Amino acid sequence: MTIAKEIIEQQNDIKNRNKVPFTLDGLKALVTGASRGIGKEIAIALAEAGASVAINYRSSEEGAAKVAQTIESMGVSSWIYPADISDYNETVKMKKQIEKYFGKIDILVNNAGVNVDKLFVKMDQEAWNRVISVNLNGVFNCCNIFKDDLMESKQGRIINITSIVGQMGNIGQVNYAASKAGIIGLTKALAKEFARKGITVNAVAPGFISTDMLMGVPDNVKERILLQIPANRFGEPEEVAHAVMYLASNEASYVTGHVLNINGGMYV
């Protein structure tokens, strides 16, 4: 892409912000795993609605920096920080740095996740522990460490990204399915605990979305998946991001403990 074309696209993005149906002006958000894919689009969508966004990433500094550049071109602030959210101490350090240089957050989006796919008969403890550690323990770590910020906010929001796989299972993804199902249980229980503190806790469950992960799947497998989707197409990351934008907004202030499916009718 040429520099001129990139500038034009950024300008168009800024114009399109006027079309955003929800307002998050003055709020601050943290999106984990936001350097690419669904996390990237979530960070940009929140910024389009007016929120300042802290971008967590584990290894792709270049990707995170590009997301931050896009956000700042919209006239809102951004900040990037590398941390493995499966490590409690690293997450504590991230919280201290975000609070010092970015401020206390109002919106926490737990998006970071990994997959190590194997049939169960071939799955070892390392593959199991890695996925559970990032996908489920990471959500606990962030919720636990940032809870005070959210309790102090007038619009505290926790939005957890789960998966259709956590709802219906999938061959070769026992560890991933368990981690994502765990997020759903965590979301519902935490919603009941935090409701009286003014914090809503919800989850978004994407189906098969056009990301790098899906694009790496063999074509014949993707064709079989499509046959199971009534909408007859894969979802787009932006469609997941718009759901997060709604749940973060004041319009969703009475929605908590909900799992919002974005799956084209594959699981209902």
How many angstroms separate the CA atoms of 132 and 115, rounded? 9
Residues annotated as catalytic are 176
Answer yes or no: is 129 within a domain: yes
Q: What is the pTM of this model?
A: 0.92
Predicted pLDDT at 189: 98
Answer yes or no: is 237 within a domain: yes
Answer yes or no: is 267 within a domain: no
Answer yes or no: is 8 within a domain: no
Residue 46 CB contacts under 8 Å (≥ 6 apart), including other chains: 24, 29, 31, 53, 107, 109, 241, 244, 245, 248
Phi-psi region of 109 (alpha: psi -120 to 50; beta: other; left: phi over 0): beta
* Domains in the chain, number: 1
Predicted pLDDT at 14: 47
Answer yes or no: is 98 within a domain: yes
Predicted pLDDT at 4: 53
Q: Kind and range of the H or E element at 102?
A: none
Domain that holds residue 168: 17-262
Answer yes or no: is 92 within a domain: yes
Answer yes or no: is 7 within a domain: no
Contact (CB, 8 A) for 54 and 78: yes
Q: Which residues of the chain have pLDDT under 70?
A: 1-19
The domain spanning residue 209 has which CATH number?
A: 3.40.50.720
Predicted pLDDT at 216: 77
Please report how many Cα atoms fall inside a 13 Å half-sphere around the Cα of residue 30, on the Cβ side. 32
Answer yes or no: is 81 within a domain: yes
